[in-house]
Each structure stands twice: as structure tokens, then as C-alpha cells.
Amino acid sequence: MGKTLIITEKPSVAKDIAKVLGKFTNRKEYLENEEYYITWAVGHLITLAEPEDYEKRYKVWRLSLLPFIPDKFLLKPIDKNEKRIKVIKDLIESNEVEKIINGCDAGREGELIFRYIYEYIGTKKPFQRLWLSSMTTAAIHQSFRNLLPGEKMELLAEAAKCRSESDWLVGINGTRVFTARFKILLSVGRVQTPTLAILVQREKEIQGFKPTPYWEIFAEFSSLQGTYIGKWIDGEDRVYDQQRAWQIEQNVQGQTGKVTEFSDKKTKEQHPLLYDLTELQRDANKIFGFSAKRTLNSAQKLYETHKLITYPRTDSRFLSHDLVDQVVTGWNMLHKCGFKELTHEPLDIKNALKDRRVFDNSRVSDHHAIIPTGEKIKWEALGRDDQKIMDLICKRFLSVFYPEAIWAQRRIKTEVNNENFISKSKVLIEPGWRKVYGKEATSEESEYLPEIEIGTTVKTEKVWVEEKETKAPPRYTEASLLSAMEGAGKLVDDEELQEIMKESGLGTPATRAAIIERLIEVGYLEREEKTLIPSQKGIELINLIESIPIIELASPQLTGQWEKKLIQIEKGQFSRQEFMDEIKKLTNEIVSKVKEKKDNGERSKMNTNIGFCPLCGSPVQENRSAFACVHWKEGCPFTLWKKILGKTITRNQAQKLITQGKTDVISGFKSKKGKFFKACLVLQEGGKIGFEFNSPTPKKGDDSASTPENTSL
């Protein structure tokens, strides 16, 4: 009887599956038992070929060679993956292997990773899909009992290929035509450019903002029931004329007033929804200042390595009814793992099932919301980031099974000499789900207003005027940008389009973090703590796109519609051919319009200096492959290559090196022996670039100093 080959996305998943299936021998490059081989892909192994892989002449970025739209897309191995591909190929083509199981991550990208391997190798052997939403032993057993036929995932595969090919067409042609036309490396993309446009539009609003002064009037009133403060209101709660503000102050000062309205009501506040990836990233950014990428990395580790949470790259915030047992297990586990006080009563699962804000089968497709798996949490074994993210997930999970929070809200309207003042208070009287979050949950509370009958006479104790001014809209943080990307439809004026885009946005939960990091890497954005600021280069690129104009390339609504169509392709509601025809049409339009655009100095506006040459003092500017002295043609040799030992050097890192002589620690360099390392880049004598390694901190009792080690490239 033949064997089955399981291909996973990562080695860690292969090992987890082997532990569950049992009795495997480690063959270094794969695992084997009597029934299965298991091997792994290590992420993307195969990618779409570059234009020069079709014909060598396309290696040169010439305008005359664009657009490049292949009739059929070719595949090729990603650099240095040949050995891994050969292992998989040999196993697939082995006479022992009768069928294959796709065990890559359960989603669009996981499907693409497997399909590209399958197609590149050219096999026709039958395959099935292992769909894992959790890495626990029970979940793995359950998924193997419910293996899906490969053909059932065909629509998901089509959507994945559409995403890949459309990004390639727009990215390759857009980047090449802009770079060739304006002689500066300009990276554009189907999703990254509209995302940049959102940030640039906000920056323009900030730069063009002119503050307007206004005045607010406050008064303190006293009665037998107590004192309270009111804010003047007459349609608006402010005036834009200082004389008018002073008149109101004088009109009210020392006068008696009357309570004309009093309300005292209780309001219920429902619990929040469970986390999807985007909401988790938003909260981690607001609370801890984590980047979206940092949160995703931690969540992925909690899922893969520690088996503590369900699949994190989800866009659902609901659970299906078949998860009841896991929910109860999770609740009971948290009782033993740090949340005893919050779980002292057994979970009322029958009542919880009635809550459509938690259990709703119609709101769950491929993946449900992120929840604990029920595995025991060994907090001490988790890194700091992982502890913080796990704590967020646990508290959100617990909170949805608590009752509503109840607030007491009072409102008083006071009339003094025909001027009206409003007073409000909000007090939490039953914490409900907010109990899970402790003291921080009551930050919205205000001091309780006294209970006063309508018609009560009050005395105006004092009146004062506060001068303020309107503020520019805030710059985006990663939290607010993720919201903007998710709800790109809100940025659209057309109501019909808003409705169309309710379920779509820019990118997917799994890709948004990478898009933000890419914009920073290519020098279009700078990150200052939580804030994202467009660079001059990023601003000028969007200005250039709008001036051509290629509005579609920077259009959130169009890209949002494409994302929606990818989802429709997965559901069989839109065809792959129609989608790719639209993308090819856009690609032709982009290339045609850029070719026709005259250079009105856009290059000089975008290629601002990143510093001055350490050899001759001339400006250092960016080109396609390096940051170099502008007098390189005259013989100045100073050059900082963008690729150093496999690591791409960002504009910000280059600027820091040239202006300060040293970068921060950079991770991801790869030695000739294939080992990854981190180091600072330092500017050495003669304009040479070197590495600086910090030696390990000396042990107690070791008198040797911890000195940096410098190495030239």
C-alpha cells in the first residue's frame, strides 16, 4: 500500500502533525512513518518569474518594453530554495507516494504556496486539503477526519492566483514605468499605493490646516442639592466671536438660574466582539505601541509554537456553534491559569449560545474569531510580547460571556437670563463585562451630578471663558491606519460604493502589516513611535500619480472593490477571467499615461538628499540600486548599496548612517555560511561601510569590557 505525502507551510507544523499521528522517524529533510511522509515548504518556495526570465532583454527597464503582460505566467523557485524544492519533488515523484495532502496554512496564501509547488513540479497525483484552525492535538485529529477533496478548494486557489498575478502585473509594470520615466526608483503596487494615498491625503489636510480660534463658556451653579458645572450651548457649544463670549459671561455673572430639564436614566453597554487579527493589531498598537507586524509575529507564535490560540489571520469576529466544547474548555483552562476570580462561576453555555454577538454561524466562513485553544498557559515560558498579546486575547474571550455594563447618566439643563447651560455625568453602576478589564474600564466615568427637580432655582457662583482653537486632524497611527484600510469604503463619498465596500477593504488581515512595513522600507513612510508620517518622496509620488492622472492606482475604493471580487471568486460569484481582464486593462492604462507624462521637475522633488558625501561633501541621493554621491560620474566612489548580504537597507537607515555615522541594530543579514545575524552599519574611514557587533555582556566576575567589534564589508 502506497504512502501519503503531507506538505506543510513550516517545519514546526510538520513536527506538530507528526507528534499527533505518531511513530515518525526524522530523516532530516522529511519525517516518515509506515503511512506518511511529512515535509515542509518554509513559506513561499515558488514565485512568479521575472520579465527577464521570459526574455533576457527585459532585464533592462526600458519604456519601449512596457507594458509586459505574459500570455501565461511562468513559475520559478525563490532564490536559495532549490534544495528544499528538490526534496519535495523527489518525494512527490516517488513511486511510494500515491496521494498528497496540502497541510499549508488554512487561507488564501497557504493555498497559493501549495498550488505553486504542485504546478511547478508538474505532478498529476491526487491531493486533499488539511484545514487547520488550531494546532491542538484534538484539532489536528478532527481535521484529518474531515480532509477536503482538492477540487473543493479550486475557487480559493483561483482567487489566490488572481491576487498574486494582479499584484505582479501592477507592481512590475508600475514600478518599472515610473522608475524608467523619472530616473528614480519608485515602487508602486495594487494595494500599497492606495494605502500611501490615504496617509498623504491626511498629511495634506494637516499641512493646509489653518486653526480657527473659538471660545467656550462655563458656569458653576449651586443649590441645596449640591453644586455642579454647566457648559453654555445654543445649537453649538462654542462661539467664534470673543465679544459675544464676554457678553454671555457678563449676562450670566452673579445671576440666579432655573433648572429647566433633568433626566436620570440607565443605559446598557454591550460587550465588545471577539478579536479578529485587525482588531487585535489595533488594540496592541493603542495599548502597547506595537506595530501591526510585531503583533502578527507574536500571535503567529502563540498559534504555532505554543498552541495557545486559534488561527490568528482571520477576519471573523464570531464563533460557530460547533465550537461549544472548545469554548467551555477554554473557560475552564483560564480558571486554572491566572483568571480564577473572573471564572469562579461555571460558564452558562446555554445562555451564551443565544448571544448573536458571539455565536453566529452566518458570520463565520473559513475561520472564526481568535480564542484560546484550551491548552494550559505557561506564562513564564512566553516572551514579553507574547504574554501581552495572550492577555489581550484571554480578556476579550472572557468579556463576551459577561453581562452588559450598566451606566447611570444624568443630564441637567440650566437657564440663566435666557442663556442655556448643559451638564452631564456618566457613572458605572454595574461593571458587567468591564469587570474583566479592571480600573481602566472606568476611565469614562465623571462625577455624579446632584439630583435636582425641574424648576429648582440655582445660584451662579462663577462664570469663566476658555479660549481654544480648532485642531488639525491627527496623523495616522498604525491602529487608525488599519481601521482606514479595513473600512476603505468610508473614505468614499458615493453612498452606493460605500454599501458595496462594507465587506471589503485594502489588503487582508494577513497582509496589512506587510504593506505598512513595505511603505516604510521603500522610504515612503517614517514611523515615529505610534505615528506614521509620509516622507517627501511618498507625498510627491501621490502628487505625480494624481497629476498624470492615474486615479485608479491610488484609489481606495477601486482596490477595495478588487478585494471584494477576490472574495467573490472564492464563492464562485465572479470569474477569474473577468478579474484578470480588468487588471490587464488597468496595467495598460498606467503604462500608457506614465509614458505620456512630461517631467516637470518631479524627480528633483522626490529625490531629496539623505545627507552629504563623507568624501567630497556633495549630496547623497537614492537611485534604483544604491544611495550614492551625486558626483559619481565625476569619479566620487561613495556608494551604499541597497542590498547588503541579503538585507535591504531602507532610506531611513541610510540617512542615519550618513548623517550620524552609524545605524541602529539591523536584523536579517546572512553570512556566506548561511547564518543570519544582526549588526549596526558604521561609516568608516575613506567612506567604507562596515559592521559593528556588540559583544555579549560579560558574566559576573569577568573584568573584560564589552567592546564593539568593527568589520569592513
Q: By C-alpha distance, which of 112, 136, 126 is closest to 43?
A: 112
Cβ atoms of 535 and 314 within 8 Å: the answer is no
| Residue tagged 429647566 (cell numbers) | 260
| Residue tagged 508620517 (cell numbers) | 533
- For the chain, what is the radius of gyration of the CA atoms? 30
Q: Could you give the C-alpha distances from 693 to 576, 662, 671, 679, 686, in angstroms and in order?
A: 50, 12, 14, 5, 20
Distance CA 645, CA 437 (A): 46
φ and ψ of 347, to 5 deg:
-70, 130
**Annotated active-site residue in 311, 437, 448, 476:** 311
Chain centroid to CA 399: 24
Report the largest interatomic distance among the alpha carbons of the chain, rounded to a whole angstrom. 98
Write down the H helix ranges in 441-575: 478-486, 495-500, 512-521, 536-547, 556-570
Torsion sign (Cα): 149, 152, 153, 154: positive
The set of long-range contacts for 541-545, using a CB threshold of 8 Å and a minimum separation of 24, is: 541/178, 541/186, 541/188, 541/193, 541/196, 541/606, 542/193, 542/196, 542/197, 542/200, 542/201, 543/200, 543/602, 544/178, 544/182, 544/597, 544/602, 544/606, 545/188, 545/193, 545/197
Q: By C-alpha distance, which of 113, 128, 56, 51 is closest to 81?
A: 113
Catalytic residue flag (residue 228): no
Grid cell, residue 534, equals 509620509
Kindly provide the b/e burial profile for residues 676-709, where b requires at least 16 CB atoms within 10 angstroms of the residue's own CB: eeebbbbbbeebebbbbeeeeeeeeeeeeeeeee
Prior bond to 67 cis, omega within 30?
yes
Catalytic residues: 311
